[in-house]
A and B are shown apart, each in its own frame.
Chain A
Amino acid sequence: MFSFFDILTEALGLILSWDRALSEIVLLSLRVTLTAVALACLIGLPAGALIGAFRFPGRTIVTVILNALMGLPPVVVGLVVYLMLSASGPLGVLGLLYTPTAMIIAQTILVTPIVAALTKQVVEDLHGEYAEQFASFGLRAHDRIAALLWDARYSLLTVALAGFGRAVAEVGAVLIVGGNINHVTRVMTTTIALETSKGNLELALALGVLLLTIAVIVNAAVMALRASAVRAAYA
């Protein structure tokens, strides 16, 4: 059968024999996931901050729904986006099905609740500390949100990383809306699923090791950015 040594050898070989097909897959993975995370942050950070910093009727219900959405099954998101983008669906005329854009849409839907719910928690804690001072400054709502997001920026990097982790490891949604089309919508996770179904378990696991390595590199890069920013950001 196979051993972990074989898998690591295979992974190493995969990286050493890095070819265009592999870099295409890796780059598409990063492009789709990073774009989805950026979009999710664009929506989720202000939304989470609003819910975290202000009291309004229905806030508890919104929070419960948001927390529940963190557990959205990717396949369900994939199906919903498929039904929207299908030629028979309401957005079919856009012709987005089986494109990277469709994958970005699905992952954005998947990641936004995570970013919003975690941002809500971070901002709520920080706002507990700042609320009186902000009231004393006579700060308006949008200035409050901006100040809270800015002051929580290092915690929010971790929030973005949580979203990245969810998106980069996700296969169910991108498989359905992307179609795993070679050279067009094939990303690391769908390739792993494909190689597994071909019975190429060593190759699938080697790709898994590569995916993990890339996730570690992205995390390390963000953390390094964070560390240097913490040192220097006080200008």
Chain B
Amino acid sequence: MLRRHVFSLVAAALLVLGLADTTDAQDQFIVVQSTTSTQNSGLFDHILPIFRDKTGIEVRVVAVGTGQAIKNAMNGDGDVLFVHARAAEEKFVAEGYGVMRSDVMYNDFVIVGPSADPAGVAGMTDATAALAQIAEAEAPFASRGDDSGTHKAELTLWAEAGIDVVAVSGGWYRETGSGMGVTLNTGIGMGAYVLTDRATWIAYGNKGAYQIVVEGDPKMFNQYGIILVNPAKHPNIKAEAGQAFIDWVLSDAGQQAIADYKINGQQLFFPNADG
């Protein structure tokens, strides 16, 4: 009988431990819906502690594809949206989900490929020409295929190259439906070319025999924007703390913190906030 009580006590203790919200009520935090590229590059780990030390506000980052981040923000499940798909962001604001969009920083996309370079595109600086050449050679190409900012940028480039990738998907054109890192893992595994943002690539740890084959095309410019989710749509939005974060990111201090983030001496993001 005693044992029975011991079991129930243990169970009760577990429940109390598990369900009690250990977050200190005085801790202020906001949720930022952002993208895997910013998260995986390590940028947030660099800049968020600086912001927290200054304001005491904790920033909780949910890193998903841009498409999912925007949908989550539309549901009110985040105070700030920090992504890289300008058209979608502007639509988000125009539909009243966001208050205002501001440019924060940019990096650029690059095409990485195996050193064997089956399509012979290494060294090209014209992204659309390179993609046309890959399509011509029917060399394998791994796409995010997940409606993310990177995916949207890639589709724009294919459209400019005049290639209908939807029609050839499943052949040499392969959609992983995954984040950047998983797509890189998959692409490298099957010897495919991959379009990736430079930040993720620099921070990526499993490069193998892969290298950047195409870079430097202005069309591969990758602009990040930041938006406060509209508190008029969702009363739970912490507008004040969210705006404080946006203000800081756009301030000289925030922009400097972004510029200071480097891996192996390489700067990953280039701040370009207005003013």
Q: A–B direct touch, CB within 8 Å, in complex?
A: yes
Q: A180 on the interface (CB 8 Å rule)?
A: yes
B14 touches A35 (CB 8 A): yes
Contact of A181 among B62, B74, B208 (CB under 8 A): B62
B21 touches A198 (CB 8 A): no
- Measured between beta carbons, the chain A residues less than 8 angstroms from B3 are 229, 233
Q: A9 on the interface (CB 8 Å rule)?
A: no
- Measured between beta carbons, the chain B residues less than 8 angstroms from A98 are 31, 60, 62, 77
B181 touches A35 (CB 8 A): no
Interface positions, chain B 61-118, Cβ under 8 Å from A, are: 61-63, 72, 74-77
B203 touches A181 (CB 8 A): no
Q: A201 on the interface (CB 8 Å rule)?
A: yes
Q: Count how many chain A residues have C-beta atoms less than 8 Å from C-beta atoms of the other chain.
A: 39
A36 to B182 Cα, complex, angstroms: 29
- Report if A34-B18 is in contact (Cβ < 8 Å); known contacts: A95-B236, A201-B205: yes
A194 touches B208 (CB 8 A): no
- Measured between beta carbons, the chain A residues less than 8 angstroms from B179 are 197
- Measured between beta carbons, the chain A residues less than 8 angstroms from B164 are none
Interface centre among A32, A36, A39 (most CB of B within 10 A): A39
A99 touches B21 (CB 8 A): yes
A179 touches B60 (CB 8 A): yes
B45 touches A182 (CB 8 A): yes
- Measured between beta carbons, the chain B residues less than 8 angstroms from A39 are 15, 18
Q: A199 on the interface (CB 8 Å rule)?
A: yes
Q: A59 on the interface (CB 8 Å rule)?
A: no
Contact of A199 among B44, B45, B63, B184 (CB under 8 A): B184
A39 to B75 Cα, complex, angstroms: 29
B181 touches A197 (CB 8 A): yes
Contact of A198 among B40, B72, B74, B236 (CB under 8 A): B40
A1 to B210 Cα, complex, angstroms: 12
A88 touches B76 (CB 8 A): yes
A24 to B66 Cα, complex, angstroms: 28
A38 to B17 Cα, complex, angstroms: 11
* Nearest Cβ on chain A to B125's Cβ, whole angstroms: 26
- Measured between beta carbons, the chain B residues less than 8 angstroms from A88 are 74-77, 234
B60 touches A87 (CB 8 A): no
Which A residues have a C-beta under 8 Å from some C-beta of B? 1, 31-32, 34-36, 38-39, 41-42, 86-89, 92-93, 95, 97-101, 104, 150, 179-182, 184, 194, 196-201, 203, 229, 233
Give me the 4 closest cross-chain CB pairs, A-B, nearest first.
A35-B18, A197-B181, A87-B76, A199-B206
